[in-house]
Structure 1
Amino acid sequence: MSLSTHLETLKKKHSDMSEAIEQAQRAPGIDGLKVADMKKQKMRLKEEIGRLSN
């Protein structure tokens, strides 16, 4: 897999994670720990994207 393809895949995952977090936050009775874990995963993706982009 080329670097640009890998970056695009990571960006797609980051976008999908953003949408999932928004949906989870709107859902009644959502577990705050689950949302926090999702946000951590999203941050890891963002950090990897930044690291690979430089």
Structure 2
Amino acid sequence: METFSPAEIVERLVALRAEHRVLDEQITRMAANGEDDLESKRLKRRKLQLKDCIAKLESLQIPDEPA
């Protein structure tokens, strides 16, 4: 796994959360308009990938506890 500085983690989290928010808005808009179900599924899959990446980066921010 790559090693990131705390500043890089925060910067990446901000970018991923922004993309996640945009996808959420697109999915909501598509559902309201009854648009392409296949495209909606693709966007939802990407949104889940972003959520996983966000969770991994957030876990890197938690310091290891001594045993």
Do the structures match in fold with TM over 0.5? yes
**Structure (1 or 2) with the greater helix fraction:** 1
Corresponding residue for residue 25 of structure 2 = 19
Write out aligned runs for 1:1-54 (5 A): 2-28=8-34, 30-54=35-59
CA RMSD of aligned residues (A): 1.2
Structure 1, unmatched stretches of 5+, are: none
Rg larger in 1 or in 2? 2
Distance between the aligned counterparts of 1:12 and 1:31, measured in 2? Answer: 23
The AA in structure 1 aligned to 2:57 is L
- Runs in 1 of length 4+ with deviation above 4 angstroms? none
Q: Which has the higher contact order (CA 8 A, sep 6+)?
A: 1
Within 2, Cα distance between the matches of 1:18 and 1:46?
Answer: 11
Q: Structure 2 regions of 5+ residues with no counterpart?
A: 1-6, 60-67
State the number of aligned residues: 53
Give me the TM-score of the superposition, normalised by structure 2: 0.73
